[in-house]
Amino acid sequence: MPGALERALRAKPWLLPFIYEIYSAGGRIEVGELRERLGVRSALLKTAVWSLARLGVVEKEGRVLRARPSRGEFEALKPARKGRVFCANLGGVWIVAVPKRSRVTVRQVPQQLVDRALEVVKHGEVKPLKLAAELGVSYTVALATLRLIQAVKD
């Protein structure tokens, strides 16, 4: 049975950057610091905090958020970050999330697609357009897959 973090990310994958930063801060973080780390607008942060609390991922103690699930549950998701790209594995499907000022762009990439992309990439650096043609997927999915591969390998 999936834990609270996996259930939350399956329901609302756009919350990944917020969850990642909370655990990166040791499981406790002030709301203002979370906003600064992600560079998001207050309205997006407020919605994320409300959603995280409702899903049982955090408890809000004044201006401080405290993670409820264990660090081990977080690590089981194989989280990765490179720059503004956040990734996590939900058992056969990877989430790739990129926070912007007022939204979070999310793509879900099946593990089989990642494996196929790794075969193409091992022969040298590949541009997203070429990868899209090789795999028969859209440019945005190919770009998300390349970002995922870069984030996980570092």
The domain defined by 94-153 carries CATH number 1.10.10? yes
> Which two three-digit tokens encode residue 87?
């990734």
- State the maximum Cα–Cα separation within the chain, in Å, rounded to a whole number: 52
pLDDT at residue 141 is higher than 70: yes
- CATH 1.10.10.10 location in the chain: 4-81
Residue range 59-78: average pLDDT? 95
Nearest Cα residue to 81 out of 4, 17, 13: 17
Read off the pTM: 0.94
Looking at domain 4-81, its CATH architecture is Orthogonal Bundle (1.10)
| Predicted confidence (pLDDT) at residue 132 exceeds the cutoff of 80 | yes
Percent of the chain topping pLDDT 90: 93
Token couple for 69: 């699930």
b/e string for 41-80 if b means 16 or more Cβ within 10 A? eeebbebbbebbeebebbeeeeeebebbbeeebbebbebb
Task: Identify the three-state secondary structure at position 46.
Answer: helix
pLDDT value at position 1?
60
